Structure 1
Amino acid sequence: MAPGATAGPLALAPAALALLLVAIAAVAVAEEPKPSAAAPPSAPNTAVLPAPLEWDRFDRRCRALAQRAATERPRVLFLGDSITERWSTVGQAVWRARFEPLGAANFGVVGDRTQSLLWRFDHGGYARMAPEVVVLLIGTNNVKNGRNSPSETAEGVAEVVRTLRLEMPTSRVLLLSVLPCGESSGAPHRRAAAEVNRRLAAVADSPCVDLLDCTALFVDAEGRIPDRWMADKLHPTEEGYRRLADALEPAVRRLACFGPRRE
C-alpha cells in the first residue's frame, strides 16, 4: 500500500483474504444438509422361504412320507405339525372311527412350520397324491416363542395355500385356524395365534379354500382351556380330538361330497 494511503474496509492482505475464504467455505460445507442414511434392508420373512427343520426326526419322518406319497392316493390329506401327527397316537381311536373310512392319510410332522411344510412340498412328491380335500393346520410353531410375527406367519400360511393350489389344483383346501394355547387369554402365544387367525380370512378368499375356526372348541366361557381338552394347553387330548372331529368331519364330507355321516 502506498505511504499515506488509507485502507478501505475490504482492503485485506492476500494472506488474510485467503484465510477468510477458507473460513467461509468451511461454514458453507457445515451448513449443507447431510444426505439421510439409507434405511437398512428389511429382513426377509422366513415363514415364506422353504427350509427343513434341522433335526434327525424331521428327516426320518419326511423320508417315510415321501415313500408313502409315491404310492398312496388318499381322498383326504391331513397336513400340519404335531397336532396333526398326533391323530395317529393320542387321537388314534377317533381317527380310525371318523377319518379312516373317508380314505384319509395323516402327513403331519412334529415341529412343522410353514417354511418346513413348503420344503416338504419341494422334496416330498406330494402333488402326485391329488386328494379331493386337504385339511391344513399350520402356524402354531411359527408364532411359538416369537419365531415369526403373526403377520409373517399369516403370510407363510398364505404361501402354503398358494403352493397347494399350484401343486394340487383339483383339491379343495380346508384351512383350520391356529388352535388356542396357553393358560389364559392374555398369554403371548394365545394373543399371537388370535392375530394370525384374524388375518386368515384374507387367505381363504378363493372358492377352493374354506376356513374353519376351531378356537371355540377348546376354550370355555371364562377363556380358559380345560385340561380335559388340552392337558398341556397346546395339544388336544383324546376328548379334544373328538371335539375337533365333530367339527371337521361334516366339513370334510361336504367338500368331498361324501354325504352326511350315518350313525
Structure 2
Amino acid sequence: MHLKMIFSIFTLLIALGPLGCATTSEQKPFTKHPEVNWEKCVQQIPTGPDSPTNPYPRIQDFPWMSRNEWCTRVLRILNDPVRADAKLGFMGDSITQMWPKDLGAEKFSDYKPIWMGIGGDRTQTLLWRMENGELKGLSLETLVLLIGTNNLSAGDSPEEVTKGVNLTIDQIRKYQPQTRIILMAIFPREQSPADPLRIKVRQTNQLLSASAKSWKVDFLDIGPGLVEKDGTISKKIMGDFVHLTPTGYVIWADAVTTALRKQSRG
C-alpha cells in the first residue's frame, strides 16, 4: 500500500478515537432524537442518484469508518448537549471533525460552538444530515461551512460540487434563516500545485466565490496561508496533504476569529 494512503488512513483512525471500534447492537447510542434514530440511519435506503445535489446517506463501509460508526456520529451531533446554547457552528467533513478541542475552546468558548463534521462526507451526505434534523432546534448566529473536497476526490466536477454547495447554503437558510454563513474556500490539497486535484480545487473555489456573492454570504479563503511560496504544501501544515495539522488549525482558527470580529462590527 502506498505510504501516503497508509498515512491518510492512520490520520483518520486517530480522529475516530473510540469510535474506531465496531458498534454492536448492545451499544446503540442516542436513539432519543425525534428526527432520526439508530435503526432509521443504518437501515436507510437512499432514493435517487448518489450525486452532489441529492440528499444521500452513507451506505458503504470504509476501512476507516463503517456505516454504523457514521450513524453513531450523526446521532452524537443530533444529541450534543451544547445544541441548546450554541451560537457558532462548524459543519463539514473530517477536516471539521478533527478540530483540536483545546484550540476550539480557547478561540471560541464565548460562542459555545458545536462541531458538525463527519469524516468522508460530501455535499450529498451533508444534505441528508440536514434533512434529518441536524440544524433543527439550533439558534446559531454564525455557521462556518467547509465541504466539497471529498466530492472532488470522488470524481465530481467543479460545476457539480458548486451546485451541491449552493443547495447546502439554500438548506442552511431554510433551517437557520437568522444565521450568518461563512463559506470556506475548499482547502488546497496534494503536495504539488500542478496536481490535478489541486487544479480542480482552484477551479471550484472560483465558482464558489461567485456563488458567495450571489448568496450574500462571507467567503473565506485561507488557502494562501496554507501553502509555501512555491505553491507546495508543507507537512507542517498538512501531514498527509489533505488534513490540517495543529499548526494548520491555528491558521484556520485565527481567520475565523477575524471574520467573526468583522461580522460583529458590521
TM-score of Structure 1 vs Structure 2, range by shorter chain: 0.7 to 0.9
1:113 aligns with 2:118: no
1:191 pairs, out of 199, 203, 221, with 199
In structure 1, how many angstroms separate the alpha carbons of the residues matched to 2:134 and 2:79? 9
Q: CA deviation at 1:126?
A: 1.3
2:231 pairs, out of 223, 226, 247, with 223
Matches for 1:104-253 after TM superposition, within 5 Å? 104-146=113-155, 148-206=156-214, 208-253=216-261
Could you state the TM-score of these two structures normalised by the residue count of structure 2? 0.75
Secondary structure of the residue that 2:115 maps to in structure 1? strand
In the other structure, the counterpart of 1:4 is: none
Q: CA deviation at 1:254?
A: 2.8
In structure 2, how many angstroms separate the alpha carbons of the residues matched to 1:65 and 1:179? 24
Letter matched to residue 144 of structure 1: S
Q: CA deviation at 1:223?
A: 0.7
In the other structure, the counterpart of 1:18 is: none
Deviations 1:145-166 (A, max 9, x none): 41x1111001100110011111
**Structure (1 or 2) with the larger CA radius of gyration:** 1
In structure 1, how many angstroms separate the alpha carbons of the residues matched to 2:151 and 2:98? 18
Give the gaps of 5 or more residues in structure 1: 1-42
In the other structure, the counterpart of 2:94 is: 82
Letter matched to residue 89 of structure 2: L
Instruction: Return closer, same or farther for 1:127/1:111 CA change in 2, 3 Å cut-off.
Output: same
In structure 2, how many angstroms separate the alpha carbons of the residues matched to 1:69 and 1:202? 36
Q: Once superposed, what is the RMSD of the aligned Cα atoms?
A: 1.9
Contact 2:123–2:147 (8 Å) recurs in 1: yes
In structure 1, how many angstroms separate the alpha carbons of the residues matched to 2:105 and 2:169? 27
Alignment coverage as a number of residue pairs:
211
Q: CA deviation at 1:202?
A: 2.4
Structure 1 runs of 4+ aligned residues shifted over 6 Å read none
Give the gaps of 5 or more residues in structure 2: 1-47, 60-66
Secondary structure of the residue that 1:225 maps to in structure 2? coil
In structure 2, how many angstroms separate the alpha carbons of the residues matched to 1:224 and 1:175? 24
Could you state the TM-score of these two structures normalised by the residue count of structure 1? 0.75
